[in-house]
Amino acid sequence: MPLCGLISPSCIYACTRFRVRRTTLLPREEYLRIMRMSIPEVVAHLGRREYGQELTDLAHDFSGAQLIEEAVHRNLAQSFRHAIAIAPGDLQTLTGEYLNRWDIANVMAVLRGTVHGIPRQQIRDLLIPAGEVDSALLDRLLRFTSCEEVLEALQGWRLYPVLAEYYRICGEQGVFARIENELYRQYYAGLLDLGSSGCSGCEELIGYLRFEIDITNMRNLLRLHCAKEACDIATIDRTMIPGGRIPIELFRRLYGIDTEDDFVNAFLATNIVPVLAQAIRELRQDPNFSSFDAAELVWRRWHQRRRPLHEVEVAVTRVRLHQLEALSRRHPFSVLPVLAYLERKRYEVANLRAIVRGKTFDLPPERIWQYIVL
């Protein structure tokens, strides 16, 4: 698939538009200002920006933090659908594929809601139609009373084959978790396939995706290790996403390691350590924090069977986004500026949500600030 291989004018135009849209996102100072506001002030402030229309539409049904969350989600969905619409040709295919993760969340919510008999309006409020499965189709899915009907209506969806293959008996214990995991695995496999088409910036995109997969796998391995019950190799295989730089074999080996030296040595060999060390350096303002310190920190959490620190996870996300933006500047007319915009928009919404939810729970501002991705 020669995606923007010759850099067509439409591709240049679309990439420029995405770069311009990137500049319209909230800057750091704006977040600092919002942090000092009360919830009603935040609503009023966002109402004067691009979220005004959504806030007005939803003000009848929601209020406070819930109103802001619903409005920013609706705005996110609209922005992403607009992004799919303006991306030309194969760039559109890749953007659609990238946004498929929202469809997975929506489809799983509909299936679970259908099985558990949850009120349809409640499910509707949880859906964020930011992917290819649009609002009209989601509304239609919500009208069905059985999973078979939902599956039948989803036959045109990219990931339908996975759904059909792994779906056995609707309502069987644990089947949805398995389907969900498999959908995400297939999602990354599809993205890597598209990325290997040789387009401009695709090599970097694959590198970025593979790094994201490694981070996700390592995080999930820590989660599995923290669980009170020991998991078997089959569970690790089912949970790890293939295609990353770190082979799944290494994750299997890491899971069984019980000594510090072995763990630190194995972990230092991965590409996660430099990014983790950089993230912690920035988080703690400690320029002397080395890769070895980072590996030891992970070992301590691993040994104590504790999950990763949320602040560190957020810091790693910050570094990851900065890397993506650096890549997008290096390849200005490729798929990377599009993805950089989509990710930034996603985290703008996450930041606003974190601020208002943090304020609702009366968390101190410095604690809320740790969860902001800038």
Partner 1 sequence: MLVDDIKPTRSGLLLVRRRMALAERIHKLLSMKLDGMMLELVKLTDRTAQKRRELEEKYNRAREMVAVAAMMEGATGVLLAALSVEMYPTYTAGHKNVFGVQLPDLEPVMVKKTLDQRGYGILGTSSVIDDAADAYEDLLEEIIASAELEGGVKRLLDDIERTRRRVNALELRIIPELKEARRFIEDQRDEMERQEWTRLRRIKKIKAKRRTGL
Question: Among residues 22 and 124, whose Cβ is nearest to partner 1?
Answer: 124
Residue 239 binds partner 1 (CB under 8 A): yes
What is the smallest separation between the CB atom of 350 and partner 1, expressed in angstroms? 7
Q: Which amino acid is at 114?
A: T
The residues in 303-332 that bind partner 1, with binding defined as CB under 8 A, are 307-308, 310, 313-314
- Alpha-carbon Rg for the chain in angstroms: 21
CA angle, residues 216, 219, 222, in degrees to nearest 5? 150
The residues in 154-173 that bind partner 1, with binding defined as CB under 8 A, are 173
Q: Report the distance separating Cα 4 and Cα 256, nearest Å.
A: 45
Q: Report the distance separating Cα 148 and Cα 207, nearest Å.
A: 38
Residue 129 binds partner 1 (CB under 8 A): no
Residue 361 binds partner 1 (CB under 8 A): yes
Supply 368's token pair.
């809320």
The residues in 93-122 that bind partner 1, with binding defined as CB under 8 A, are 104-105, 108-109, 112-113, 116, 118
The residues in 198-217 that bind partner 1, with binding defined as CB under 8 A, are 216
Supply 223's token pair.
């989660």
Question: What sections of 118-245 are H helices per DSSP?
Answer: 120-126, 135-143, 147-153, 160-166, 175-195, 202-226, 233-239
- Of 53-61, 81-89, 177-185, 189-197, the segment contacting partner 1 by CB under 8 A is 177-185
Question: Among residues 123 and 248, whose Cβ is nearest to partner 1?
Answer: 123
Residue 177 binds partner 1 (CB under 8 A): yes
Contact 106, 129 (CB under 8 A): yes
Chosen residue from 12, 126, 153, 170 binding partner 1 by CB under 8 A? 126
Q: How many residues bind to partner 1 according to rule CB under 8 A?
A: 56
What is the smallest separation between the CB atom of 345 and partner 1, expressed in angstroms? 15
Residue 176 binds partner 1 (CB under 8 A): yes
Contact 335, 91 (CB under 8 A): yes
Q: Report the distance separating Cα 200 and Cα 250, nearest Å.
A: 31
Q: Which amino acid is at 139?
A: D
Task: Render 148-169 in DSSP notation, one character per residue.
Answer: HHHHHHTTTSTTHHHHHHH--S
The binding site for partner 1 (CB under 8 A) comprises 65-66, 69, 73, 104-105, 108-109, 112-113, 116, 118, 123, 125-126, 128, 173-174, 176-181, 183-185, 216, 219-220, 222-224, 226-229, 231, 235, 239, 241, 307-308, 310, 313-314, 350, 353-354, 357-358, 360-361, 363, 368, 371
